[in-house]
Amino acid sequence: MAAAVVFTNKPEELFVDKHVKYIQTLDTADKRLMSWADGVYWGLTALHLLGHPDALPRDETIKFVQSCQHENGGFGAHPSHDAHLLYTLSAVQILAMVDALDAINTDACVSYVRGLQKPSGVFAGDEWGEEDTRFVYTAIQTLKILGRLDAVDVGRAVEYVLGCQNYDGGFGLVPGAESHSGQIFTCLGVLSMTDSMDRLTTASKDQLAGWLAQRQLPNGGLNGRPEKLEDVCYSWWVMSSLAMLGKLHWIDRNKLVGFILSCQDEVRGGLADRKGDAVDVFHTVFGIAGLCLVGWGGLKEVDPVYCMPVETTKRLFGAK
């Protein structure tokens, strides 16, 4: 990992209180944040990083997560929704952050995840079988948090991920698919969680970091692949990948900070994909997490591999 960065706050401001308030108002009667597990994960992670971990009611959060677990061990986005790996990881991450992993049936959850691995090493998202690197990431992180990586064939999962690397150094959804920053995050995440980063050559890591650094546009924002528009969420997908490669300093931090801050709704709180657009909790968490990676003052440290506070991953896995 790169050395910690001391960032001097420019006159621009991060409206912490407004963002906290924005996430809290998502959990009111008509909006019901507590009715989709991924939404709760995004909101809760943002609150933890903002230094307000208790802004959502802990008991209600745990009860909601428990209610989403199915008999097959997987979790749905809501109690009335089918189980899926995406929401299974969200559920486990939420419980990890509020330190309540014992609130669910771990064995059932592990067996659900194990049942979704295919002979190629990839994981399907659910029983209907959509397979790609996003689900390798979600499966591996779920098991890593639960301390049960031994339940699946990690070696094959790593081989599958390596087979998704392209000529530009990046990774795609499946072998043959074009590189995309979101998939680069998930693939580097899998390699990091399984201590397999050394499977990439120095040359290919450098090429990948160079590709990622090219994602910064003259306005400071980052895009997800060549010739696309900037978007706040890539402040996470691109920067976390650069962090895993130890190359955060390959982009212009000040310009990125300026871009992220310009995407805030300074009246009602929250962040949008771009300046002036409608805010949502997804862009709010990834904008804030991006600021954490460049060391914006007053925020908690974020773990680039897990997208959770370092406080949480330290508690789970010990100091790195």
Radius of gyration (C-alpha) of the chain in whole angstroms: 19
**By C-beta, is 164 or 316 nearer to another protein?**
164
268 scored as a contact of another protein (CB under 8 A): yes
Q: Are 299 and 49 in contact (CB under 8 A)?
A: yes
Q: Could you identify the residue written with the tokens 């970091």?
A: 209
The binder of another protein chosen from 91, 113, 136, 272 (CB under 8 A) = 272
The binder of another protein chosen from 140, 243, 279, 308 (CB under 8 A) = 279
216 scored as a contact of another protein (CB under 8 A): yes
226 scored as a contact of another protein (CB under 8 A): yes
Q: Are 138 and 85 in contact (CB under 8 A)?
A: yes
Helix or strand or coil: residue 232? Answer: coil
Helix or strand or coil: residue 2? Answer: coil
Q: How far is CA 254 from CA 1, 25, 167, 266, 291, in A?
A: 20, 31, 30, 20, 10
Residue 222's Cβ-count burial label (10 Å; 0-12, 13-18, 19+) is: buried
The binder of another protein chosen from 192, 231, 235, 236 (CB under 8 A) = 231
Binding mask 89-128 for another protein (x = CB under 8 A): -------------------------------------x-x
**By C-beta, is 139 or 251 nearer to another protein?**
251
- Distance, CA of 89 to CA of 86 (rounded, Å): 6
74 scored as a contact of another protein (CB under 8 A): no
Interface residues for another protein in 186-215 (CB under 8 A)?
201-204, 207-211, 213-214
Residues 6+ apart with CB under 8 A from 238: 181, 184, 185, 212, 215, 222, 224, 251
> What is the binding site for another protein (CB under 8 A)?
36, 38-39, 76, 80-82, 84, 126, 128, 130, 165-169, 173-174, 176-180, 201-204, 207-211, 213-214, 216, 218, 225-228, 231, 233, 247, 249-252, 255, 265, 267-268, 272-274, 276-280, 282-283
